[in-house]
Amino acid sequence: MQTTRILTVSDIHSRVYLYHQLSSRVRSLNPDVIVVASDWLDAEPLPDDKVFSIPAAALFFSQFTQPVVFVPGNHEINEGILEFEKCLLERGKKFNFLATGCAATLGPCTIVGFPPSDLEIHPETWLPKLYIKHGEKMGSLWISHNPPIESPWACPLIEEAVKKWQPKLLVSGMDHCNPIRTGKWKTQIGETVCINTGQILVPEPGVLRCCLIEMDFLSNEPSLPVAFRVTLYD
């Protein structure tokens, strides 16, 4: 049995205190992979908030020895993401960026990234191509900026894709009021477990919300997990 530990986080918006808490979580949990589920750049203004510049954000992520996978949000669809990539590459780090139609296979786990709903790209234009390339293992873990359901920012296109393809797990962000508004941080669509890790946007000393996913595979070959566990930290 092979277990892959994946730490996922979203909506940290260049905020220094959230970045530092992420670093502490990585040190304490020692995951195999770090997944940043969108909006790690471009902070929205809050009183007395300290934020990283784009080069400083790239320097921060270059410290990790684990692979870091990035999925775009609505704050990563402009020239800022090009500057971030340039700065990361200058530090000798690979930019694992899951733009539309891309997947990353790390060990036995295949991770699929969804574009933000702002781009209005229908999943049926690219998901079937991923299935041809990766087969059923593309259903291990999906990452999206927008939640599929139960949110003002829910994306019907993602919900439709989940209903049809039934991945094991989908992690999203975007909704900064969930689970306060709904009273829950996970839901289910058919056989798919859906997790929302959007941050509560408060100035220091806010607490980082993230989750650790532990996926069990029969071997180190890319495949679907036979079991998984999710632990929320907030």
Contacts of 118 (CB under 8 A, 6+ apart): 74, 77
Contacts of 201 (CB under 8 A, 6+ apart): 11, 13, 44, 46, 176
Task: Report the pLDDT value the prediction gives residue 220, as an integer from 0 to 100.
Answer: 93
Rg of the chain (C-alpha set) = 16
| CATH (domain of 46) | 3.60.21.10
Task: Report the pLDDT value the prediction gives residue 198, as an integer from 0 to 100.
Answer: 83
Task: Report the pLDDT value the prediction gives residue 204, as an integer from 0 to 100.
Answer: 57
Residue 4 · residue 30 · CB < 8 Å = no
Task: Report the pLDDT value the prediction gives residue 148, as an integer from 0 to 100.
Answer: 93
Helix pair angle (16-29, 54-61), 10° resolution:
10
Task: Report the pLDDT value the prediction gives residue 153, as an integer from 0 to 100.
Answer: 87
What is the DSSP pairing of strand 192-196 with strand 109-113? unpaired
Cα–Cα distance for residue pair 200/107, rounded to 1 Å: 32
Residue type, 197: T
pLDDT tens profile 197-218? 888 766 556 789 999 999 999 9
pLDDT tens profile 160-211? 999 999 999 999 988 877 666 667 788 999 999 999 888 876 655 678 999 9
SS3 61: helix
Please give the model's pTM, rounded to 2 decimal places. 0.93
Number of domains in the chain: 1
CA 92 to chain centre: 22
CA 29 to chain centre: 17
* Cis amide leading into 148 (omega within 30): no
Tokens 């500057």 identify what position?
Answer: 83
Domain that includes residue 132, residue range: 2-233
pLDDT higher at 219 or 184: 219
Residue type, 119: L
- Kindly state the average pLDDT of the residues 55-64: 95
The DSSP code sequence of 176-227 is TTTTTTTS-SEEEETTEEEEE------SSSPPPPEEEEEEEESSSSS---SE
Tokens standing for residue 28: 């304490």
DSSP 174: -
Task: Report the pLDDT value the prediction gives residue 74, as an integer from 0 to 100.
Answer: 80
Is the pLDDT at 36 greater than 90, yes or no? yes
Task: Report the pLDDT value the prediction gives residue 152, as an integer from 0 to 100.
Answer: 86
Residue 73: pLDDT band by 50, 70, 90 thresholds?
confident
Average model confidence (pLDDT) across the chain: 90
- Kindly state the average pLDDT of the residues 147-151: 89
Is the pLDDT at 47 greater than 80, yes or no? no
Task: Report the pLDDT value the prediction gives residue 139, as an integer from 0 to 100.
Answer: 96
Nearest to 83 by CA among 31, 139, 35, 14: 14
